Amino acid sequence: MRFLPFLLLSFLACKTAAPPPATPLDSTTETNASSDTTDIEETEKDGKFKEYTDVITGEAVSDDGVFTVHRVGEDYYFEIPFATFSKDMLLVTRIAKIPAELGGGYLNAGSKTNEQLIQWDRVNDAIYLRSIAYDAVADTSLPINISVQNNNYAPIIMAFDIEAMNPDSTAAVIKVNELFSTDVQAITGLSQRLRKSYEVRNLDQSRSFISRMASYPGNLEVRHDMTFVANNPPSNGGTGTISMQMSQSMYLLPEVPMQPRLHDERVGWFTVSQVDYGSEALKADEKTYIKRWKLVPSDLAAYERGELVEPVEPIVYYLDPATPEKFRPYFRQGIEDWQVAFEAAGFKNAIVARDAPTEAEDPDWSPEDARFSVVRYVASTTRNAIGPSVVDPRSGQIIESDIIWYHNHLRSYRNRYLLETGGANPGARSLDTPEEEIGEMMRRVISHEVGHALGLPHNMKASYAYPTDSLRSATFTNKWGLASTIMDYTRYNYVAQPGDEGVRWVRMLGPYDVYAINWGYRYLPDVASAKAEKPILNEWIAEKKGDPVYLFGGRSSSDPSAQTESVGDDPVKASTYGMKNLRIVAENLADWTTEPGEDYTDLRELYGELLGVWSRYAAHVTANIGGVYEQLRTTDEQGDTYTHLDSEEQERAMRFLNQEVFGSPDWLMPRRIIANIGASGIVDRMAGLQGRQLDNLLDEDRLGRMIENETLNGESAYTATEMLEQLRKGLWEEALTGKDINVYRRNLQRSHVDRLQELMTENAENSSDVAALTRAELTNIQRLAERAATRYRNGVVKYHLLEIAADIEQLLTAK
């Protein structure tokens, strides 16, 4: 039978009869149970264990499944079949109910706090729960496996006395109250960081209890409430209490793991790794496998003929019952958008979306149940979405996943849509975004997070695959999207300009998604091992050689082709277009975000985010300076893995920065905005904004790459000396010509000197080239300031220059 999910505090109260004997999961499986049984029978004769009916009395309410579980009064028992001893299970710990503000917004109902492989074992008269690691492995037939086991001894989470044996001596009964009502670190909901932050003193056992237990054929589910005594709880501070409900899911893993697929860094996948001590390699051989669901064709013959077939077990996502009705169609689309990618791998209906059953349809259904993957809708002010998954560490098989959508993420996308496309897109010029458009954004966010749950990480090279000007074409963008994959952070088309009719504004799946899913999920029926698959997988990569659409790269601060939030293959051109649009937005933002009778809260928020958009556009260009392209290759491929940008592109980027980033930011400060969002502070705010961009440019690692580039490529390189000179001439242009130096430029000039001083001081002891370069620049600025000061009459500009010169003099002569 099953127990109603709402019976949280009265689990199993409706049954009174003693349960029938538990049935082993697999009576044909060979285990050490038979040898244990004789010992058990002897100990029973000696009276060491209680009679089964004395423990599991007539008052017991029970549920059978992977284990039989019982409640007798306030005591809870597991009846563990001997056949499951030493079998691999996955224990996943989640938060089921959470107090407000716990974790600062990134913990919620459904958040996973731990995932570990476990085994139940009997030692003498006790049952041990162990946490097992598969980081180090060796085939059990090899002698070295003895050493692997001895040097990776599994920790014991808890030990339990055997209370009784079941009537046919095929299972041991243990009482499990202590596991779930005491503070067991392996399954807790509070990390050490949170305990310290909230000044947690202890778990109060009198207010901690098991609230639900249910057993299914392949998994066991436990809900338990934990109440902590805390001096500084995140909410309801007067109670001195943190109460939360935890969900523990135990999955019985397949006895024979799924055949893994070896990872190749040229195609992006999340991975699991093992050190194989039984490898023929003359070392401890690290094997890395991709994370993926197990998809097997239901009709292998048809699959081999090239027909689309359904998998034996499709990937099913349920929609959280808490999801607003109006958004459910977009969530379904976001999930099932991946069907086209799986069709490339030979599967139809491989991934489907379903509504969660009603209580009448399935009273046992719960989003925390390990059998179900769910798109959770969380009532939270957090502005984010995530796509975690639960994985068998032995093979990389994804067992289950829960996509988390935080309600306030709607606000993020509404704001970004207005700021990044509003200059050219009349439909975005409002805080009341039409439902169809916000739904389209939500659909694509869900697709992105499902991509993670399918095994795909971010691919930040995907935006660089498309020519920047192609993003102004309606024909191109509606066919190919904004990037070659939805797994890039290419959320909006900020390149399209006013008058570019019919262009696509929002991201979508692209050709790389189809390619990656085929590479990871295509079933290879005649290939018996991961190693044997490798030549086939390599051939699929070789077929796409030279096509930027199929390149993979994670975010890299040094690679301008792998930047987050960028679009197009020309950062200077893309940011130029973006800045043009942003000027239109800044000029009209007050009109687009204010209503009669309302205050300026929205304007204040949007303006702050507008400055963030400006900063991203600037940073994309800065990445060109000292930039190094990375293209992952194997040893049989021609070409270099790392290539420095040519000098012309770096000089072009530097010109953009001097003009658009370090110039006077007047257009960023429309009077109607500044006069209504704060009494003061805009000068300091702009100083910080531009100063951060200057610090980013004058990054020590960036200068180091430029020095290395000069060493490797000589005169063809754009050198650190050239960059520093170009920067100096741009930042100090007014001082060189005798023009007025306004407060924003003065602040930037001070930041310039301060940053050079930091670099010189930090590198002085190692006598590096960075120290020499920055000392020389400070000397140049000192002389420039001294000469320029004579051109100005007494006043703030003159005093500013004299102070700069004096400060540098003091710095350079200090011992």
What is the tens place of the pLDDT at every residue in 594-603? 888 999 999 9
Q: Tell me how far CA of residue 738 lies from CA of 741, 755, 789, 799, 808, in angstroms.
A: 9, 24, 9, 14, 21
Residue 35, pLDDT score: 37
Across 46-55, 233-242, 400-409, 644-653, which has the greatest mean pLDDT?
644-653
**Mean pLDDT across the stretch 433-455?**
93
Report the distance separating Cα 343 and Cα 338, nearest Å.
9
Closest residue by Cα to residue 440 from 555, 521, 329:
329
Residue 763, pLDDT score: 83
* Total-model pTM: 0.87
Amino acid, single-letter form, for residue 604? R
Residue 41, pLDDT score: 47
Predicted confidence band at 766 (pLDDT cuts at 50, 70, 90)?
A: confident
Report the distance separating Cα 269 and Cα 274, nearest Å.
16
Q: Tell me how far CA of residue 199 lies from CA of 105, 204, 234, in angstroms.
A: 18, 14, 10
101-110, 247-256, 709-718: range with lowest mean pLDDT: 101-110
Closest residue by Cα to residue 382 from 618, 107, 10:
107
- 130 CB-near residues (< 8 Å, 6+ apart): 118, 119, 120, 121, 154, 155, 156, 157
Report the distance separating Cα 412 and Cα 384, nearest Å.
8
Given a cut of 60, is residue 464 above it in pLDDT? yes
Residue 300, pLDDT score: 97
Given a cut of 60, is residue 19 above it in pLDDT? no
Whether the Cβ atoms of residue 468 and residue 429 lie closer than 8 Å to each other: no
Whether the Cβ atoms of residue 675 and residue 686 lie closer than 8 Å to each other: no
Given a cut of 90, is residue 44 above it in pLDDT? no
Residue 33, pLDDT score: 38
- 546 CB-near residues (< 8 Å, 6+ apart): none
288-302, 353-367, 484-498, 680-694: range with lowest mean pLDDT: 353-367
Model pLDDT for residues 530-573, shown as the tens digit of each residue: 999 999 999 999 999 989 999 999 888 899 999 999 999 999 99
Type and span of the H or E element at 750: helix 743-763
Model pLDDT for residues 497-518, shown as the tens digit of each residue: 999 999 999 999 999 999 999 9
- 283 CB-near residues (< 8 Å, 6+ apart): none
Whether the Cβ atoms of residue 403 and residue 284 lie closer than 8 Å to each other: no
37-41, 239-243, 340-344: range with lowest mean pLDDT: 37-41
**Mean pLDDT across the stretch 420-432?**
95
> Which percentage of the chain shows pLDDT scores above 70?
92
Given a cut of 70, is residue 36 above it in pLDDT? no
> Which percentage of the chain shows pLDDT scores above 90?
73
Residue 3, pLDDT score: 36
Given a cut of 80, is residue 313 above it in pLDDT? yes
Who wins on pLDDT, 16 or 201?
201
Given a cut of 60, is residue 13 above it in pLDDT? no
284: which 2 tokens? 């401890």
Residue 651, pLDDT score: 97
Closest residue by Cα to residue 724 from 687, 685, 697:
697
Domains of the chain, by residue range, sit at: 33-252, 300-569, 617-624+653-813
Residue 282, pLDDT score: 58
Residue 25, pLDDT score: 25
Residue 428, pLDDT score: 95
**Residue-averaged pLDDT of the chain:** 89
Predicted confidence band at 148 (pLDDT cuts at 50, 70, 90)?
A: low
Who wins on pLDDT, 379 or 704?
704
The strands making up 285-290's β-sheet, listed across from edge to edge, are 136-137, 271-276, 285-290
**Mean pLDDT across the stretch 787-811?**
93
Q: Is 764 exposed, middle or buried (0-12, 13-18, 19+ CB in 10 A)?
A: middle
Whether the Cβ atoms of residue 491 and residue 520 lie closer than 8 Å to each other: no
Residue 285, pLDDT score: 76
Report the distance separating Cα 725 and Cα 673, nearest Å.
36
Given a cut of 50, is residue 1 above it in pLDDT? no
* Relative orientation angle of helices 796-813 and 743-763, to the nearest 10 degrees: 0
Given a cut of 60, is residue 720 above it in pLDDT? yes
b/e map 212-236, b = 16+ CB within 10 Å = bbbbbebbbbbbbbbbbbbeebbee
SS3 content of the chain, % helix, strand, coil (to 5): 40, 20, 40
